[in-house]
Amino acid sequence: MEIIYYDNQYLESLNELLYESFKVTKTGNKASSDIELIAVIDNKVVGYLVLNKLVDPVKNLTYFYVNYVCTHPEFRNQHIATSMFEKVFSICRKEQISYLELTSNPSRVAAHHLYQKLGFQVRETTVFRKEIL
């Protein structure tokens, strides 16, 4: 397995994973400030996550918001997500990122276990969203 930065040559394989995981597909190129990591085995994308680089305007700290964390169902429990997060932690140290944040659907119990094992702490909050377009 290889953890690499996303490249458009993997779009079809990535879209299979995204559709399987979230019922969405990737369109267009990434934003310049985003970091997309993929886990690849035999030219197949088996893991994915996105890091959105943000600045906390109150604390004046740079942080990553983590999105679209997923692993292909056939490759779960093989430490793929853990390996991707190890790469994330390395990137954070290199770029002096203060903290990571993510949200997760309450039904994703296995993912929650992983996040806690990796040192994430649950925040008491409710996420609100309003669709505009």
Examine the pLDDT at 132 and tell me if it is beyond 70. yes
Spell out where 13-116 has E strands: 34-41, 44-56, 61-71, 99-102
Average pLDDT estimate for 5-23: 95
Domains of the chain and any CATH numbers? 2-117 (3.40.630.30)
Average pLDDT estimate for 8-36: 90
- pLDDT value at position 27? 87
127 falls in which pLDDT band (50, 70, 90)?
A: confident
- pLDDT value at position 29? 73
Vertex 64, ends 15 and 70: CA angle to 5°? 30
Condensed to tens digits (0 to 9), the pLDDT of residues 60-88 reads 999 999 999 999 999 999 999 999 999 99
What is the C-alpha to C-alpha distance for residues 85 and 47, in angstroms, rounded to an integer?
11
Q: Can you tell me whether residue 25 is helix, strand or coil?
A: coil
The listed range with the strongest mean pLDDT (29-33, 39-43, 107-111) is: 39-43
Residue 6 contacts residue 30 (beta carbons within 8 Å): yes
- pLDDT value at position 33? 79
How does the average pLDDT of the chain come out, rounded?
94
Pairing of strands 61-71, 44-56: antiparallel
pTM for this prediction = 0.91
Residue 122 contacts residue 102 (beta carbons within 8 Å): no
- pLDDT value at position 30? 65
What is the C-alpha to C-alpha distance for residues 101 and 10, in angstroms, rounded to an integer?
26
129 falls in which pLDDT band (50, 70, 90)?
A: confident
